[in-house]
């Protein structure tokens, strides 16, 4: 049985903690804030409740596996629910596309009705082609640690040097279809010109596995993982900021908290910004190379999020609406509201130069006089921005060169978002193994 300290209680930290505890290790979870979950939080005000960060996910199997490998199935604590409504895309030319999420035939029809059969075939063929991409990424990058060298056949299929923007320009004739594809870069805070084309695989994953939310909002997922931590007898410490990771001869020895407390450990799992970890918390010669590596990365741009409590009547929108333009904005309607009201969250991707309400009005959503509550989500660590395909190897590896030190979360392999951070925790648990 190893003494494990997990630094940071975001989704990846919580997932790592409960998995490792189930494997028989003695786990202590240190979180500097007073609540667990990181961006899996809630904003509550004036009778409204909104998800502070994530509100849905694809690859529900990743969450199901997390709960199954740490105890009882996820359904014993929260209910995963499919997002049945199409995602709405509102374009600068005034046209609107309601694109079904999980149905190939319905997507084909939707594009045919918006544009023509040629555009519909182009989109469908592009998404179909990402099926092979998914199998390669799953086997080489998402389920195992990132391999040092991919097979030449995999490289030829992935074409990592080809950007998402290049794919859009070469494979899609309709500018609106290109905008929909670019959105898979924008939602992760990156530029499509610097994002590898294979990131468009998320279009295939949504169409194949659907998109899922949680009854009561994604904040309920943080509550469920906190309960699982209690079930697994994890020592959870809030208000406990880790300011140093101790090492000796290339191995971890423990951590030091801001109040001076020293905690011994055989294993430390970090769910914080790897740049902070390697530049300020770890002082060991073995970290020199990886310190330089992560320092060359830059933070992805977190969405600016404003939560609106609105009095009916307001425009009827599906679960998610993308307002294409500069900047791109996304309206989510899945919040909880008093009777006769609606709870919207507006995520602005890019640098907002106008007030959010001005932006909504300019895009045709006239709700300024309906606002009865307005709140803002705190900024969060959004992971690493794509700056070409080499970014994948500049992220922190899950297994550190320092023995006993592991990295998970948005800044580590395999990247940001609910599925990726959950898969990263699984990789670490497998690497550590049973007690």
pLDDT tens digits, 296-342: 999 998 889 999 999 999 999 999 999 999 899 999 999 999 999 99
Residue 213, domain member (yes or no): no
Q: How confident is the model at residue 350 (pLDDT cuts 50, 70, 90)?
A: confident
Residue pair 205/67 in contact (Cβ under 8 Å)? The answer is no
Q: Could you tell me if residue 247 is inside a domain?
A: yes
Q: Is the pLDDT of residue 382 over 90?
A: no
Clarify whether residues 107 and 7 are in a common domain: no
Who's near 131: CB < 8 A, 6+ residues apart? 204, 208
Contact between 214 and 81 (Cβ < 8 Å):
yes
Query: What mean pLDDT do residues 111-120 have?
Result: 98
Q: Tell me, yes or no, whether 122 and 177 share the same domain.
A: yes
* DSSP states along 257-323: ETTS-EEE-SEEEE-S-HHHIIIIIB--GGGHHHHHHHHT--B--PPEEEEEEEESP-----SEEEE
Q: Does residue 223 form part of some domain?
A: yes
**Is residue 186 in a domain?**
yes
What pLDDT does residue 151 have? 87
DSSP string covering 88-145? EEE-TTS-EEEE-SS-HHHHHHHHHHHS-HHHHHHHHHHHHHHHHHHHHHIIIIISSP
Run of H or E residues at 245: strand 242-248
Looking at the structure, do residues 367 and 389 belong to the same domain, yes or no? no
Do 352 and 396 sit in the same domain of this protein?
A: no
Please give the pLDDT value at position 391: 94
Residue 10: phi, psi to the nearest 5? -75, -170
pLDDT interval class at 32 (50, 70, 90): very high
Q: What is the pTM of this model?
A: 0.95
Number of residues that this document lists for the chain: 435
Q: Give the count of domains, the chain.
A: 3
Mark which of 206, 241, 260 sits at the end of a domain. 206
Same domain, residue pair 391 and 290: yes
Q: What pLDDT score does 53 carry?
A: 87
pLDDT digits (tens, 9 = 90+) for 407-428: 999 999 999 999 999 999 999 9
Domain identity same for 344 and 277: no
Residue 34 lies in a domain: yes
User: Does position 148 have pLDDT exceeding 80, yes or no?
Assistant: no
Same-domain check for residues 282 and 393:
yes
Rounded average pLDDT over 388-405: 94
Percent of the chain surpassing pLDDT 90: 89
Same domain flag for 107 and 188:
yes
Same domain membership, residue 417 and residue 314 = no
Mean pLDDT for all residues in the chain? 95
Phi, psi at residue 95, to the nearest 5°?
-75, 155
Does 327 map to a domain? yes
Using CA atoms, how far apart are residues 357 and 362, in angstroms rounded to an integer?
Answer: 8
Domain span including residue 165? 101-206
For residue 21, pLDDT over 90 is answered with yes
Q: In the predicted model, what is the mean pLDDT of residues 117-139?
A: 97
């Amino acid at each position: 049985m190893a003494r494990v300290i997990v630094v940071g209680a975001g989704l990846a930290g919580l997932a790592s903690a409960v998995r490792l505890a189930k494997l028989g290790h003695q786990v202590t979870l240190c979180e500097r804030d007073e609540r667990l979950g990181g961006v899996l939080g809630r904003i509550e005000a004036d009778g409204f409740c909104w998800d502070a960060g994530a509100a849905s996910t694809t690859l529900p199997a990743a969450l199901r596996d997390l709960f199954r490998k740490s105890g009882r199935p996820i359904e014993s604590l929260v209910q995963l629910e499919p997002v049945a409504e199409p995602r709405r895309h509102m374009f600068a030319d005034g046209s609107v596309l309601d694109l079904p999420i999980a149905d190939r035939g319905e997507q084909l029809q939707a594009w045919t009705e918006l544009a023509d059969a040629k555009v519909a075939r182009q989109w469908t063929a592009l998404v179909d082609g990402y099926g092979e991409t998914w199998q390669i990424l799953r086997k080489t990058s998402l389920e195992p640690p990132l391999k040092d060298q991919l097979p030449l056949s995999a490289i030829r299929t992935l074409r990592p040097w080809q950007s998402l923007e290049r794919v859009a320009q070469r494979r899609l004739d309709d500018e609106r279809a290109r905008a929909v594809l670019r959105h898979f870069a924008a939602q992760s805070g990156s530029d499509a010109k610097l994002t590898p084309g294979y990131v468009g695989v998320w279009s295939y994953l949504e169409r194949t596995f659907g998109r899922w939310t949680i009854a009561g909002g994604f904040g309920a997922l943080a509550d469920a993982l906190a309960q699982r931590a209690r079930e697994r007898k994890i020592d959870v410490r809030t208000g406990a900021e880790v300011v140093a990771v101790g090492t000796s001869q290339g191995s971890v020895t423990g951590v030091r908290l801001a109040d001076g407390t020293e905690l011994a450990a055989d294993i430390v799992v970090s769910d914080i910004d790897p740049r902070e970890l390697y530049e300020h918390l770890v002082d060991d010669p073995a970290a020199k190379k990886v310190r330089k590596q992560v320092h060359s990365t830059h933070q992805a741009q977190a969405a600016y999020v404003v939560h609106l409590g609105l009095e009916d009547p307001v425009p009827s929108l599906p679960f998610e609406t993308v307002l294409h333009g500069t900047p791109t904005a996304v309206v989510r309607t899945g919040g909880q509201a008093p009777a006769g009201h609606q709870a919207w969250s507006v995520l602005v991707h890019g640098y907002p130069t106008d007030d959010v309400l001005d932006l909504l009005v300019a895009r045709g959503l006239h709700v300024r006089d309906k606002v009865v509550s307005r709140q803002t989500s705190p900024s969060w660590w959004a992971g690493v921005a794509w700056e070409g395909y080499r970014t994948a190897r500049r992220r922190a590896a899950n297994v550190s060169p320092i023995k006993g030190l592991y990295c998970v979360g948005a800044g580590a392999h395999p990247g940001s978002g609910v599925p990726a951070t959950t898969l990263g925790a699984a990789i670490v648990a497998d690497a550590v193994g049973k007690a």
